[in-house]
Structure 1
Amino acid sequence: MKKLVPILTAVLLGTATACSSSSGGGDAGGPVELTIWHGQDDMAARSIEKLIASFNKTHPGIRVKSDSGGATADTMLPKVTAAFAAGTYPDIAYMYGSWGAALARSPKVPNLKKYLGGPAVGWDDFWPNTRQTATVSGKVIGFPAVVDDLTVLYNKKMLAKAGLKPPPPDWTWDDFRSYAARLTDAKTKMYGTTWAVSGGEETTWALWPLVWQRGGAILSPDNKKAAFNAAPGVQALTLLQQMAVQDKSVYLDSSPAEKGQKLFESGRLGLFLSGPWVLPDVQAAKIDYGIARLPGTNGDHQTVSGPDNWAVFDHGTRRVKAAAEFLTWLTQPQQQLVWMMDTGSLPTRRSIVKLPGYRDFVKKYPGIGIVTDNLADAKQIRPVTSKYPRVSAFVADAMASVMLGKSDPQSALNDAARKSDALLAVPGQ
């Protein structure tokens, strides 16, 4: 969820043409060699490398080489951008969905649409929001890699000690505020909940469901004007202001290392707005946790989802076709279930929940079924525009100012809207 460095979009466009290739890519008589930069670490890295090894054993015509590219998932875009300029870019890379619009504008990113037909791919089996994220203005830039959504993890022991029952399915944001206040104890440094104020997407993405649930939007339908400073956005940020400034029930996390998760793993955080990617760490910390759907507003429990992509880059038709074949295999239900069991990731396809092994997945990660079901509440995606990361950064600064008690919601959001409108007025996607 890191913010996009502003110059990267220009670099993507400015350097890509010089490196463009339409050749077949390598020796046409031998196996097609592909390089994938996965950017994963720990268990996720071991899992993807295990799957790649399995593919190589069963597909002698394609040889996939796993490489970190010297990048984490958070830093993959600048690494790939630099590699574009040097001509050393991979065939496939793990890319955050919010980077899709910037990637789609590059001629080094081919349109994979012609490779998606037929039952082998099962494109329509992917959740709609994952397909939307992989498709920018009709151009398919990759295959869905990961899908998640925002839910609430809670510490069962802390709730019980405070005399609180587990959150019910119909709980509201007022309930969330009440829970957080009762779970906070300044003397013992126990916190009700946490919120990142480090800037960018870590700060903003949990705000958007509160805005959507109130009938609001991030941008206008044509992506040319800010909409987040209307009444729904102000109401959403006012709630956070009340929790942070008045109730003092929010641990304001200004660290890029995301200390909020460490607080939850140490047993000092009651409610944690997060998703399935933290479950392996939470289980390793032996926290007795539960999972609840996101609180709602007037019965609306919309959540935010963060689909990511396996983006494909152009090293010639032969290698692009081989990359599509590998990703078709990698994203099939059987392979995805292996990845899910290893990492706690959610199913990217509807059909995965019908596999016999899905029951073992749910058993391994208690409460994960709630997170999967919650995908049905992921009805909207963040704007598909290369300018969104900078808009997100403007809003993040406004949120931090309000939650730190330095500004009021309307003024802060209006300031972010002015900056966003000026940016959005500049021609370009």
Structure 2
Amino acid sequence: MTGKMRALACAGALVAGLAGCSSSGESSDGTVTITWGHWGTADMWGPTATKLAQAFEKSHPKIKVKIEFTPNKEYWTKLQTAAASGSAPDVFWMNGPRIGVYASQGALMPLSDQIAKDKLDMSKYPKALVDLYQLDGKQYGIPKDYDTIGLFYNKDLFDKAKVKYPTADWTWDDVRKAADKLTDASSGVWSIGAPAWNQTHYYDTMVQAGGYIISDDKKKSGFDDPASLQGLQFWKDFLDKKQSPTQQQMTDTDPSVLFQNGKLAMFYDGSYDAVMYQNSKGLNWDVAPMPKGPKSNASIIHGLANVIYAKTKHPQEAWEFEKFLSSEEGNRIQAESGAVIPAYEGLADAWAKSMPGKNLQIFLDAATTAVPYPISKNTAVWARKEVDAITKAYTDGNQVEPIAKEFAATMNADLSAEK
């Protein structure tokens, strides 16, 4: 995903027996250098990361932060290898689906004792996100942000097609009606992007139809539920009508890039990508609330956390940086940059005001009815299979229902094997 991992899948397993230590160092004058790993795009998150590091160094002159940026598609593969070889960053980004794998295999430093010692007030962060980064009663990460989903649209393309802009009253039918008018094959413009992306696309519509991804007890897949199938089919219809690029076309060129280039009139995307679109020259965009499905217009909510590598050579310095990133000051820097919605209580409004003229408030409003990102103890086991299955279902000539039902059986088997 541009700005964040798109599918949040393919976590993989760490090699057993973590050895060695991270690549941080100490100079002759006692100054310690720690590393901080993150993904995203350099132009979107890079300036914010630099501001955070500089602000921390100003208040901690004996600690320097070396920023390690990794492109989205390479981040988890690189991290898995680094964690196994003992060279992972001292502090790095973590997401919900992978916390169980990295924590259970000893790659992450438990933070509960430090939190208690320094009396960090964890109530300042959304409880659902705090709980997401716990395993067996221990806290392994502190939330840095949260994100919800909205309907981004190109105002110039809507004007050209004489279609009214999306509003809070839009339903799935309104999206369909707009799509019938917005595709302009002669200009290489599609109405909407329908990639096989879970958090920003089919998870939302599965829930909006009244379905679910995984049962509350984490024992059953929802991919064979009739309502879930309706939500999955929502996207396939746009593909079948050639109102969206094909899966292959969206693999060759990321649909967020197509949107930036004026080739998509509508695109469901996360709050984290607003700053990227804002920085895209010539793109006349805005964003509307999620259109309502048969049951709701619920959005999937997720959030990232910063974690500390278990084999860091400088655990105290890494903890000081972790605390800063989690602090009100650190979250305020995030908010004012427009990069992400900060997790720290009371700062979301600053983010919403970071791009005057854009309706970012819809992402904050969505949080009140949002559904947590679905995970199980070993999400990675079935997550990659899920994306592969839905990609296949969304490929020309294939049908959604039989493929989704087949995957549901596979997912159920994986869930039953969890310990």
Pair in the same fold by TM > 0.5: yes
Change (3 A) 1:374 1:113: same
Query: Which secondary structure state, in structure 1, belongs to the residue aligned with residue 87 of structure 2?
Result: coil
What SS is found at the alignment partner of 2:259? helix
**Equivalent position of 1:49 in the other structure:** 50
Matched AA of 2:300: V
Encode CA deviations 1:300-349: one digit per residue, 9 max, x unaligned.
22101231121211237x94343233222222233323223334321222
User: Matched residue pairs, number?
Assistant: 408
Structure 2 distance, partners of 1:327, 1:74, is 25
CA distance in 2, matches of 1:220, 1:293: 26
Instruction: Name the SS of the counterpart of 1:270 in structure 2.
Output: strand
* Counterpart pick for 1:252 among 233, 241, 246: 246
Aligned to 1:241: 236
Alignment of 1:9-408 (within 5 A): 9-11=13-15, 14-16=16-18, 18=19, 30=30, 33-40=33-40, 41-60=42-61, 63-68=63-68, 71-117=70-116, 121-197=120-196, 202-203=197-198, 205-245=200-240, 247-254=241-248, 255-256=250-251, 258-283=253-278, 284-298=280-294, 300-315=296-311, 319-353=314-348, 360-363=353-356, 366-386=358-378, 388-408=379-399
Question: Helix, strand or coil for the counterpart of 2:201?
Answer: coil
Are the aligned partners of 1:209 and 1:302 in contact in 2 as well (CA < 8 Å)?
A: yes
Query: Could you tell which deviates more after superposition, 340-349 or 284-293?
Result: 340-349
State, as a whole percentage, how many aligned pairs show the same letter.
21
Between the aligned partners of 1:130 and 1:156, the Cα distance in structure 2 is 34
SS in 2 for 1:377: coil
SS at match of 1:195: coil
- One-letter code aligned to 1:291: V
Is contact 1:15–1:84 with CA below 8 Å preserved after alignment? Answer: no
Secondary structure (helix, strand or coil) at the match of 1:170 reads coil
Asked if structure 1 preserves the Cα contact closer than 8 Å seen for 2:213 and 2:374, the reply is yes
Structure 1 portions without partners, runs of 5+ = none
Quote the offset at 1:19 in angstroms: 5.0
Moved more, 300-309 or 373-382: 373-382
> Match for 1:67: what amino acid?
I
Q: TM-score, normalised by structure 2?
A: 0.86
Q: Which amino acid aligns with 1:337?
A: R
The alpha-carbon deviation at position 33 of structure 1 amounts to 4.5
What secondary structure, in the 3-state scheme, does the structure 1 residue paired with 2:219 have? coil
Q: Is the 8 A contact 2:183 2:189 kept in 1?
A: yes
* 1:73–1:94 contact (8 Å) kept in structure 2: no
What's the offset of the Cα at 1:159? 1.8
- State the distance in 1 between where 2:30 and 2:404 align: 57
Moved more, 119-128 or 327-336: 119-128
Change (3 A) 1:85 1:298: closer
CA distance in 2, matches of 1:397, 1:77: 18
Query: Which residue in 1 is equivalent to 2:414?
Result: 423
Q: Distance in 1 between matches of 2:85 and 2:208?
A: 45
Distance across 1 between alignment mates of 2:86 and 2:166: 52
Two-structure CA RMSD over aligned residues (Å) = 3.0
CA distance in 2 between counterparts of 1:49 and 1:204 reads 28
Give the direction of change, closer, same or farther, for the CA distance of 1:65–1:153 in structure 2 (3 Å limit): same
Cα distance in 2 for partners of 1:187, 1:203 equals: 30
Mark the CA change 1:164 to 1:137 in structure 2 (over 3 Å): closer, same or farther. Answer: farther
